Amino acid sequence: MPAIVIIGAQWGDEGKGRIVDHIAKRTCMVVRYQGGNNAGHTVVIGDKTFKLHQVPAGIMRKGVAAVLGNGMVINPLALVEELDTLQAEGIPIEDIYISSNAHVIMPYHLLLDALEEKQRGAACLGTTLRGIGPAYADKYARCGLRMQDLWPLERFEKRVAEVLPRVNLELEGVFKHEPLTVKEIVDAYAGVAERLAPFVTDTSLLVNNALDKGETVLMEGAQATMLDIDFGTYPYVTSSSPTAGGACQGAGVSPVKIGAVLGVVKVYTSRVGTGPFPTELLDETGDWIVEKGQEYGTTTGRRRRCGWIDLVSLRYATRINGFTDLALTRLDVLSGLDEVKLCVAYEMPDGSITRDYPLNTDTLAQVKPVYEAMPGWSGNLHAARSLTDLPETARNYCIRVSELLGVKLDMVSVGAERDDLIVNSWPIN
């Protein structure tokens, strides 16, 4: 069986975690291939809510290996905390593997993230302040530390001593911040480095061995297409490649081994942080969706901006990722509205109408959505387990989205709980 990639199609928080959790039960391994603890992936099992930040959501399924791939940036302190939380909940952590090539989020990355955001002032990006941008910047500037650099202690000290002068030049020169010492950094990470050492390995080898044996491997994207460093609303993006191409690079897997690319789409749109959002609802309906959907960030607790589904950006996401399959989430949240709207085109600043996503971020900030309206639905959808269990209008809405994107509809989620899911088909049988 080839690999299946799961990707957020919008601006994040589509419900990737719960979709990964579901599909993982048919796989042997789930790999996170980019991002760090800026992600917050939720899995709800009964009355327990698990929030995964760096460990892939596949960990919630017994016997499924959880891999943190080379494309990630890892905060070792936060990871140890996450492992402790999982263990305290009785989730086994023996089958976790961390790429020795994954980069480390260092204490100064967190500091720089905050200082850079402050310096941007009103033009801030609204990052999660987890040090993601600075950690990836160092990776590409070839002055990052990788997981394999964290021990033995002498090596770690040597590597920190090599990179710190450059960091301090920036801290002192640009931000007038006091310099950091090698000792304080080494002291902060030495204990956790030792704790994580047994988990660190060549994860690309593991993943490819599993694929060569005919096993199915799930690749779990964090963030989302519209936050992609190349394809998102730059500069209001994250610093990695959540899109399908990033999966190969971030896990060490050939493109020919990818068998399916599943896009996870919230039935409306949400966004945290700054940046253009054509279908944003700055009105009562927007507030209603936020409250009904409890749209507050899994990682930072920030209120998410909400609006109607945007088929222009979703068609773009379908093109960039080559979605073969679709999972729609949170259908229950829109229950209770007389009418729902789908953005099917944009009116450009010059008055012309386009169905193609404009690449210019300033233009995107000025487009006006062109809507198609559909009748809404009401009632409690949580018990629906097939499309035919849904009110006809809700079913028609899902089918319309799938038709407009030209992508097969695999799943529709109707509640946060693990089993609140309609499985229409599977990405790979």
- What positions carry a catalytic annotation? 13, 41
**DSSP for residue 413:** E
**What six digits make up the tokens of 363?**
């233009």
Q: Alpha-carbon distance 144 to 136, whole Å?
A: 8
Tell me the three state secondary structure of residue 286: helix
Minimal distance, residue 60 CB to ligand IMO, in Å = 16
Q: Is 298 in the site for Mg ion (CB under 5 A)?
A: yes
Cβ-based nearer residue to Mg ion, 298 or 335: 298
Query: Among ligand IMO, ligand GDP, Mg ion, none, what binds residue 414 when CB lies within 5 to 8 Å by partner kind?
Result: ligand GDP
Query: Among Mg ion, ligand GDP, ligand IMO, none, what binds residue 232 when CB lies within 5 to 8 Å by partner kind?
Result: none
Q: Is 159 in the site for ligand GDP (CB under 6 A)?
A: no
Helix (H) or strand (E) holding 212: helix 203-212
Name the E strands within 69-208. 73-74, 96-99, 103-104, 200-201
Minimal distance, residue 43 CB to ligand GDP, in Å = 7
Residue 269: CB partners within 8 Å, gap ≥ 6?
Answer: 10, 11, 277, 279, 280, 306, 307, 308, 309, 310
Cβ-based nearer residue to Mg ion, 13 or 228: 13
152 upstream amide cis, omega within 30 of 0: yes
How far is C-alpha 321 from the geometric centre of its chain's CA atoms?
A: 14
Stretches 26-34, 38-46, 166-174, 230-238: which one binds ligand GDP (CB under 6 A)?
38-46
Lookup result for tokens 């660190």:
200
Measured from each CB, the residue nearest to ligand IMO is 273
Radius of gyration of the chain (CA): 21
Minimal distance, residue 52 CB to ligand GDP, in Å = 8
Closest CA to 413 of 335, 331, 340, 336: 331
Stretches 13-21, 132-140, 268-276, 358-366: which one binds Mg ion (CB under 5 A)?
13-21
Q: Alpha-carbon distance 200 to 421, whole Å?
A: 35
Q: Alpha-carbon distance 382 to 390, whole Å?
A: 10
Tell me the three state secondary structure of residue 319: helix
Cβ-based nearer residue to ligand IMO, 41 or 159: 41
Closest CA to 139 of 186, 73, 227: 73
- Enumerate residues 280-299 that contact ligand GDP by CB under 6 A: 298
Q: How many residues bind Mg ion (CB under 5 A)?
A: 3
Q: Is 226 in the site for ligand GDP (CB under 6 A)?
A: no
Q: Is 332 in the site for ligand GDP (CB under 6 A)?
A: yes
Minimal distance, residue 33 CB to Mg ion, in Å = 16
Q: Is 15 in the site for ligand GDP (CB under 6 A)?
A: yes
Minimal distance, residue 15 CB to ligand GDP, in Å = 4
Cβ-based nearer residue to ligand IMO, 38 or 148: 38
Residues that bind ligand IMO (CB under 6 A): 8, 12-13, 38-41, 125-128, 130, 132-133, 222-224, 227, 238-239, 272-273, 298
Cβ-based nearer residue to Mg ion, 54 or 298: 298
Cβ-based nearer residue to ligand GDP, 369 or 415: 415
Tell me the three state secondary structure of residue 331: helix
Cβ atoms within 10 A of the Cβ of 153, count?
A: 13
**DSSP for residue 357:** P
How many angstroms separate the Cα of 19 from the Cα of each of 22, 59, 419? 5, 13, 11
Q: Is 410 in the site for ligand GDP (CB under 6 A)?
A: no
Select from 3, 13, 73, 113 the one that contacts ligand GDP (CB under 6 A). 13
Cβ atoms 35, 72 nearer than 8 A: yes
How far is C-alpha 314 from the geometric centre of its chain's CA atoms?
A: 16
Q: Is 8 in the site for ligand GDP (CB under 6 A)?
A: yes
Buried b (16+ CB within 10 A) or exposed e, 163-176: bbeebbeebeeeee
Q: Alpha-carbon distance 293 to 405, whole Å?
A: 24
Select from 204, 269, 329, 402 the one that contacts ligand GDP (CB under 6 A). 329
Cβ-based nearer residue to ligand IMO, 298 or 321: 298
Stretches 34-42, 256-264, 273-281, 320-328: which one binds Mg ion (CB under 5 A)?
34-42
Minimal distance, residue 386 CB to ligand IMO, in Å = 28
Q: Alpha-carbon distance 137 to 109, whole Å?
A: 10
Minimal distance, residue 332 CB to ligand GDP, in Å = 5
Q: Is 5 in the site for ligand GDP (CB under 6 A)?
A: no
Minimal distance, residue 208 CB to ligand GDP, in Å = 26
| Binding site residues, ligand GDP, CB under 6 A | 8, 12-18, 40-42, 44, 298, 329-330, 332-333, 413-416, 420
| Binding site residues, Mg ion, CB under 5 A | 13, 40, 298
